[in-house]
Amino acid sequence: MWVRDKQAMGLRREFLEDLMTLKRLGALDQARRVIEIGSQQLGDSFLASTDLLDQTYQIFGRPRVELGSPSGADFASTAPPSKLFWTSVGFDYATVDYDGHRESIPLDLNTDQVPAKLRQQFDLVVNTGTTEHIANQAQAFRIIHDLTRIGGVMFHEVPAGSGNHGLINYTPKFFLLLHKQNDYEQVYMRERTDDDMFIRVALRKRLNREFVTPLDVPPEVMPLKYRQPWRTIRRIARLP
């Protein structure tokens, strides 16, 4: 995600906690292919978390590899890309970004469509601090939906009240309507706290259906395509 003090995109310590939670909940059983929304680097708090890194490699049953050291002030030019981390825990890795840097697949989240060869190809789609920089939210979340295979997990770590960062700040209600109106399964949600101004939520894609852009209107005037019976919504865990 966007590391606020260094103005670069990087995974945080908290992401290791979330990844292990997904693994323990069984949400990543048989998962092999991951794609990042926005090409990420490994943030200083991630690289310094030797305790959580040890636990992560253990839970994935993989030997620990050297990922690099915290980069300090020159984060953007020196922090290691996240690819080595993903491949070292057993995933086939890909990433999309608007300019194709760091071996990413060029894709503009505002305007582009997912190429046919990438549709429903990924077990885990990771949006850590990217979509808040996109004006066209409907298209950004449609791309995430289209990349995810049936049964795959979409993970979001996005700001919820972080001042002048990005274009968008999210609410729990946004993700409630996103998962309800698309008939996703909510694996878990961690809402923002005073110490961490981010929402972290994991959703599982259940059905082969076109993406529905969330709409927030009273139930009595809700168009039919947005209505999903509550009995179809399964929530595995709600975390603080």
What pLDDT score does 232 carry? 44
Position 205 confidence tier, pLDDT thresholds 50, 70, 90? very high
Q: Give the pLDDT of residue 99.
A: 83
pLDDT at 2: 37
DSSP string, 104-170: PEE--TTT----GGGTT-EEEEEEES-GGG-S-HHHHHHHHHHHEEEEEEEEEEEESS-TTSSS---
Task: Give the residue, 75 or 197, on which the prediction is more confident.
Answer: 197
Angle at 116 between CA 18 and CA 177, to 5 degrees: 45
Which pLDDT tens digit goes with each residue over 152-171? 999 999 998 767 788 999 99
Mean pLDDT of the chain: 88
Which tokens is 109 given?
A: 């989240």
Q: What is the pLDDT of residue 75?
A: 67
Q: Whole-model pTM?
A: 0.89
Using DSSP bridges, classify how beta strands 92-97 and 105-106 pair: parallel, antiparallel or unpaired: parallel
Confidence of residue 5 (pLDDT cuts 50, 70, 90): very low
- Does the pLDDT at position 238 exceed 70? no
Query: Pick from 37, 204, 232, 53: which is nearest to 132 by CA?
Result: 37
Q: What is the mean pLDDT of residues 180-187?
A: 94
Span 91-137, pLDDT tens digits? 999 999 988 877 899 999 999 999 999 999 999 999 998 999 999 99
Residue with the bigger pLDDT between 233 and 46: it is 46
